[in-house]
Chain A
Amino acid sequence: MRSSTVSRRTFLQTAAGGALGVAAGLATTGRALAADLTVGIVYVGAKDDFGWNQAHAVAAAALKLVPGVTVVEEENVPETDACAKTMESMINLDGAGLILATSFGYYTPFVVEEAKKFAKVEFRHAAPLWNKDKDPKNAGSYFGYLNQAHYVDGVAAGLCTKSNKIGFVAAKPIASVLSNINSVLLGARKTNPKAIVQVIFTGDWAMPVREAEAANALVDAGCDVITCHVDSPKVVIETAEKRGVKTCGHNASQAPLAPKGFITGAEYKWSTIYKGYAADLAAGKPLPNFLIGGYESDFVQNTPFGAGATEAAKTGAMAAITDMKNKVPIYVGPLKDNKTGKVVIDKTYGNLDPYLDKMDYLLEGVVGSIT
């Protein structure tokens, strides 16, 4: 009895001791950090979400091809101190010299605090939040005006719809979402004056069940082209495809989800920005603190046409893309809102005009309400 006790215990001890020994031995084997620049990219969700995170991951993949650049990525990082610790870990353990924080809620307090803590590391965050008076100089913002690509979607959708009704599943009634909805309307009206946009708000960024319900409700209401602004458009696009209507995408490419009905989609082109940062750092130039733009800066793009795009839609969309590159304005005033008929856009505004960032209305021609 006793000998068995001893042997078993000895076995456990040996096993535990052995495991520790192996761990200690491995810990001393360092990993060579070969690259000139290590870029750490932090995502709030999965890299293959067919949406916001995927758009960044696609750009990260492009950045990996740049010689001398190493990319380290971490997905599903919540907007808690976990993101602060992830950034620190990338700096301390991977030697990251540039951190790209891609979720809105990472900025305050985490990016700001980390930038103060690591003055030699550059931090850039994907939302126009950097404040030149308050925030550290090694932090900054970048953002794309996706509404320009939504405008192109609108042009194509207006030419594809037979019922003249375009459905829009939206997350929250904040300025960037409202601008996308209004841009779809103005794009559609450009080629199809009878087009209207019908919108349903789900109330949050990721509400798969409500998104499916909203897509179904819009199809039931007679919409034959569906588009959206939610974090991951997967559910909306798949639901619409099942119902046999056409779709326009958002954030990343959803073309594989709708082999029959996909027209085109509004996509970010973060790779332009990311490669630009890498080139600036390689050349020893300071990084821009505030970087915003649309088609004219190559920050946004449209997904290659799918089977749902008619020839007329393709031609119209290509022309609209040329317009956007040439800074042809989308918001040509006067334009009225859809609630009171009041003129909300009094004159013509340039596509990056700060006045448009404060948008809190839907234009006449949109069916749906913010409140």
Chain B
Amino acid sequence: MSSGVPTVSELPTAFGAGKPPSAPAVRYDLGVRLRANSEYVAIPIFALLMAALLFAVFLLAIGKSPLEFVDYVWRGGFGTAFSFQNTLQRSSPLILTALALAIPARIGLIMIGAEGALVLGGFAAAAIAVPMVGAIPPVVVIPIMVATALLVGAVWVGIAGYLRYARGVNETISSLLLTYIGIAIMNFFVEGLMRDSSNPNKPSTKPIGDAYMVGHIPGTDVHWGFAVGVVLSISLYILMTRTTFGFAARVTGGNYRAALAQGLPVGKIILSCAMIAGACAGLAGYFEVAAIQGRANASLAAGYGFTGILVSFLARHNPVVIVPVAILFGGLVASGGLIQRRMGLPDATVLVLQGLIFVVLLTSETLYGRLAIFRAGDAKERT
């Protein structure tokens, strides 16, 4: 950065003469951007460290060693091949549910209905597969299951998007309430019409069978949901930052009235973003059924949709950043067991840490734009 600064004085002449930006100008531009963007890295890291510090105080207060805690998080979540795969596996549904929050958040909507879309998407995938199992080959059934999960998830969160646009209903409330309705719908079918009578004590749909499950990524113990999540994160990042749709979505998020005045199809954009979100969550549900449970039952509502909210906020709704953040959370959850077992701490300990991270992170939002070191203005003042 220091190398870019001395060239600043050349800038006015370069632009003033109406020439195309010269090489030094590009370097200046890069320096400013780096400086400005480093804010988005430094502040969350600072927030994480602050949360860690507060958590250390909490641990000391209950007479436990923070260093021991760090040791177990490392060993339980990252330190061995098993631990790291455990972490990746646990992060898979979080990547997808965090995307479900991040995409609408780019247009300024906080939709927290991923849990419901996950449950219904997973249930629908199982429900459509069960009658076809054995009769139709997996090559045909698996794409149908994926499509069903995507569609059902998209429609479910799409409802909240439509209500937002057409009726002005608060999307946060409606998406949350739709979650409870979604879980109730699944329970209704799983405990009634679609119940597997051979399993009297835990209401579930009939199993889809091993042939119709998706396996692990070769050479690992991590299911395909993780790879799909990573690819989807990158694709959605490109969609939201490098395409006309993404630009229109950002304008809509930045100023709704201006977007309307510009003639942007605001309704379509809102609905599309909501549906993309729902599809991501529905896909998470598909992987829960097809990679893990093998059937749909109440275990689908495991809270991934809600942890995804935390992940997306920590990633500042940036689809690409969601992946490392989800891995961090997956690691915390994965190591939670080891912490319980070795340190004798209750299960809620990891929740305390997650809560602290969330609160500190939201508080740190206020720091953006206030710290002089990140401002390009410093450079301009010198000219």
Which A residues are closer than 8 A to B by beta carbons?
A: 1-2, 4-5, 8-9, 12, 15-16, 19, 22-24, 26-27, 29, 31, 46, 72-82, 85-86, 88-90, 92-94, 104-105, 108-109, 127, 174-176
Query: Does B67 contact A82, Cβ atoms closer than 8 Å?
Result: no
Query: Does A26 contact B67, Cβ atoms closer than 8 Å?
Result: yes
Query: Does A74 contact B299, Cβ atoms closer than 8 Å?
Result: no
Query: Does A89 contact B46, Cβ atoms closer than 8 Å?
Result: no
A23 to B52, CA, bound (A): 13
Nearest chain A CB to B274 CB, angstrom units: 26
Which residues of B from 39 to 74 have beta carbons under 8 Å from A? 42, 45-46, 49, 52, 67-68, 70-71, 73-74
Contacts of A174 in B (CB 8 A): 200-201
Query: Does A80 contact B299, Cβ atoms closer than 8 Å?
Result: yes
Number of interface residues of B (CB under 8 A): 47
Contacts of B79 in A (CB 8 A): 27
Contacts of A89 in B (CB 8 A): 76, 82-83, 86, 334, 337-338
Query: Does B70 contact A22, Cβ atoms closer than 8 Å?
Result: yes
The chain B residue sitting closest to A360, CB to CB, is: B200
Nearest chain A CB to B371 CB, angstrom units: 9
| Contacts A2-B5, A104-B202 known; 16 new A-B pairs at CB < 8 A | A8-B373, A26-B67, A72-B342, A75-B347, A76-B347, A78-B303, A80-B292, A82-B90, A85-B86, A85-B89, A88-B82, A94-B341, A105-B297, A105-B299, A108-B199, A108-B207
Query: Does B347 contact A109, Cβ atoms closer than 8 Å?
Result: no
Contacts of A78 in B (CB 8 A): 299, 302-303
A8 to B373, CA, bound (A): 9
Query: Does A27 contact B75, Cβ atoms closer than 8 Å?
Result: yes
A173 to B263, CA, bound (A): 59
Q: Is chain A's binding surface mostly helix, strand, loop or mixed?
A: helix
Q: Does B137 contact A (CB under 8 A)?
A: no
Nearest chain A CB to B115 CB, angstrom units: 13
Offer 11 A-B interface pairs, CB within 8 angstroms, sorted by A.
A2-B5, A9-B42, A23-B71, A24-B74, A46-B346, A73-B340, A75-B347, A78-B302, A88-B82, A93-B83, A108-B199
With contacts A88-B86, A109-B294 taken as known, whether A16 is within 8 angstroms of B2 at the C-beta atoms is no
Q: Does B80 contact A (CB under 8 A)?
A: yes
Q: Does B293 contact A (CB under 8 A)?
A: yes
Contacts of A94 in B (CB 8 A): 341
Nearest chain A CB to B122 CB, angstrom units: 11
A81 to B74, CA, bound (A): 21
Contacts of B337 in A (CB 8 A): 74, 77, 85-86, 89-90
Nearest chain B CB to A90 CB, angstrom units: 7
Number of A-B contacts (CB under 8 A): 108
Q: Is chain B's binding surface mostly helix, strand, loop or mixed?
A: helix
A31 to B339, CA, bound (A): 13
Shortest 5 CB-CB distances between A and B: which pairs?
Answer: A26-B71, A76-B347, A72-B341, A79-B299, A81-B292
Query: Does A2 contact B2, Cβ atoms closer than 8 Å?
Result: yes
Contacts of A176 in B (CB 8 A): 201
Query: Does A80 contact B302, Cβ atoms closer than 8 Å?
Result: yes
Contacts of A127 in B (CB 8 A): 201
A76 to B75, CA, bound (A): 21
Contacts of A24 in B (CB 8 A): 74
Contacts of A16 in B (CB 8 A): 45, 49
Query: Does B82 contact A92, Cβ atoms closer than 8 Å?
Result: yes
A219 to B342, CA, bound (A): 45
A76 to B346, CA, bound (A): 9
The chain B residue sitting closest to A105, CB to CB, is: B202
Nearest chain A CB to B92 CB, angstrom units: 9
A108 to B198, CA, bound (A): 13
A186 to B70, CA, bound (A): 56
The chain A residue sitting closest to B334, CB to CB, is: A85
Nearest chain B CB to A103 CB, angstrom units: 10
Contacts of B292 in A (CB 8 A): 80-81
A359 to B199, CA, bound (A): 15
The chain B residue sitting closest to A75, CB to CB, is: B347
Query: Does B75 contact A93, Cβ atoms closer than 8 Å?
Result: yes
Partner of A73, one of B5, B42, B293, B341: B341
A79 to B288, CA, bound (A): 12
Contacts of B347 in A (CB 8 A): 46, 74-76
Which residues of B from 202 to 247 have beta carbons under 8 Å from A? 202, 207
Partner of A93, one of B49, B303, B338: B338
Query: Does A109 contact B293, Cβ atoms closer than 8 Å?
Result: yes
Contacts of B333 in A (CB 8 A): 82
A5 to B334, CA, bound (A): 37
Nearest chain B CB to A166 CB, angstrom units: 25
With contacts A72-B341, A75-B346, A75-B347 taken as known, whether A92 is within 8 angstroms of B80 at the C-beta atoms is yes
Query: Does A4 contact B299, Cβ atoms closer than 8 Å?
Result: no
A109 to B74, CA, bound (A): 29
With contacts A85-B86, A90-B341 taken as known, whether A29 is within 8 angstroms of B71 at the C-beta atoms is yes
Contacts of B2 in A (CB 8 A): 2
Query: Does A23 contact B45, Cβ atoms closer than 8 Å?
Result: no
Nearest chain A CB to B204 CB, angstrom units: 9
Contacts of A109 in B (CB 8 A): 293-294
A1 to B5, CA, bound (A): 12
Contacts of A19 in B (CB 8 A): 49, 52, 70
Contacts of A4 in B (CB 8 A): 373
Contacts of A46 in B (CB 8 A): 346-347
Contacts of A80 in B (CB 8 A): 288, 292-293, 299, 302
A73 to B340, CA, bound (A): 7
Query: Does A93 contact B76, Cβ atoms closer than 8 Å?
Result: yes
